[in-house]
Amino acid sequence: MLALRPNCECCDQDLPAHAPDARICSFECTFCARCADEVFAGSCPNCGGELVRRPIRPAAKLATAPASTQRVHRAPRRHEE
SS (H, E, C) 19-56: CCCEEECCCCCEEEHHHHHHHCCCECCCCCCECEECCC
Q: What is the pLDDT of residues 27-46, one digit of tens each?
A: 999 999 999 999 999 999 99
Predicted pLDDT at 77: 54
Residue 2 has pLDDT above 70, yes or no: yes
Domain boundaries, the chain: 1-61
Task: Out of 3.40.50, 3.30.40, 3.30.70, 1.20.1510, select the CATH number for domain 1-61.
Answer: 3.30.40
